[in-house]
Amino acid sequence: MRARRRLPLFLVLLALWWLLFTPGRSLVGTGSESLPYSSFLDELEQGRVTSVLIREDRIEGTRWAPPFRISRGFRTTRIEDPTLIERLRSGGVRFDSVVGGGWVRETFSWILPLLFMAGFWWWMLRGIGRGQTQMGTIGRSRARVYVERDLPVRFQDVAGVDEAKVELREVVEFLKDPVRYGRLGGRMPKGLLLVGPPGTGKTLLARAVAGEAEVPFFSINGSEFVELFVGLGAARVRDLFEQARKTAPCIIFIDEMDALGKARGLGALSGGANDEKEQTLNQLLAELDGFDPRGGVVLLAATNRPEILDPALLRSGRFDRQILIDMPDRKGREDILLIHLRKVNHSDAVDAKVLAGLTTGFSGADLANLVNEAALIATRRGATQVDPVDFTAAVERMVGGLERKSRVLAPDEKHRVAIHEMGHATVSFALDRGKAIHKVTIIPRGISALGYTMRRPMEDRTLIAQSELEHQIAVLLGGRAAETLRFKEASTGAADDLLKATEVARAMVERFGMGVDLGPASWMHDPSPPISVHSEEIRKRIDEETIRILDHAYGLAVRTLRHHERFVDAGVSGLLEKESLDEAELQALWKIHGEPGSIAPQSLDRVQSGGPSGRPEPENHPHQA
Torsion angle of C-alpha atoms 325, 326, 330, 335, degrees rounded to 10: 20
Gap between the Cα atoms of 227 and 225, Å rounded: 6
Find out whether 394 and 597 touch, Cβ atoms under 8 Å: no
Find out whether 334 and 353 touch, Cβ atoms under 8 Å: yes
Gap between the Cα atoms of 147 and 155, Å rounded: 17
Gap between the Cα atoms of 345 and 341, Å rounded: 8
Count of beta carbons in the 10 Å neighbourhood of residue 402: 10
Angle at 507 between CA 455 and CA 622, to 5 degrees: 30
Gap between the Cα atoms of 449 and 440, Å rounded: 13
Spell out a b/e string for 592-602, using b for 16 or more CB atoms within 10 Å of the CB, else e: ebbeeeebebe
Gap between the Cα atoms of 185 and 421, Å rounded: 65
Gap between the Cα atoms of 207 and 152, Å rounded: 9
Gap between the Cα atoms of 497 and 479, Å rounded: 8
User: Is 537 a known active-site residue?
Assistant: no
3-state DSSP call for residue 12?
helix
Distance set, CA 544 to CA 484, 540, 541 (Å): 23, 6, 5
**Beta pairing partners, 581:** 440
Find out whether 473 and 553 touch, Cβ atoms under 8 Å: yes
**Beta pairing partners, 570:** none
3-state DSSP call for residue 414?
helix
Radius of gyration from C-alpha coordinates of the chain: 39
Identify the helix (H) or strand (E) that includes residue 77: strand 70-77
User: 3-state SS string over 377-429?
Assistant: HHHHCCCCCECHHHHHHHHHHHHHCCECCCCCCCHHHHHHHHHHHHHHHHHHH
Gap between the Cα atoms of 391 and 366, Å rounded: 13
Kindly state the DSSP code that residue 56 receives in the 8-state scheme: S
From the list 421, 470, 510, 545, the catalytic residue is: 421
Kindly state the DSSP code that residue 270 receives in the 8-state scheme: G
Count of beta carbons in the 10 Å neighbourhood of residue 436: 18
Find out whether 184 and 221 touch, Cβ atoms under 8 Å: no
Distance set, CA 604 to CA 322, 545, 555, 556, 597 (Å): 41, 11, 12, 11, 21
Find out whether 556 and 599 touch, Cβ atoms under 8 Å: yes
Identify the helix (H) or strand (E) that includes residue 437: strand 435-441
Find out whether 549 and 508 touch, Cβ atoms under 8 Å: yes
Find out whether 439 and 390 touch, Cβ atoms under 8 Å: no
What strands, in cross-sheet order, belong to the sheet with 58-65? Answer: 33-34, 70-77, 58-65, 49-54, 94-97
Q: Which residues contact 136 (CB under 8 A, 6 or more apart)?
A: none
Instruction: Write out the catalytic residue numbers.
Output: 421
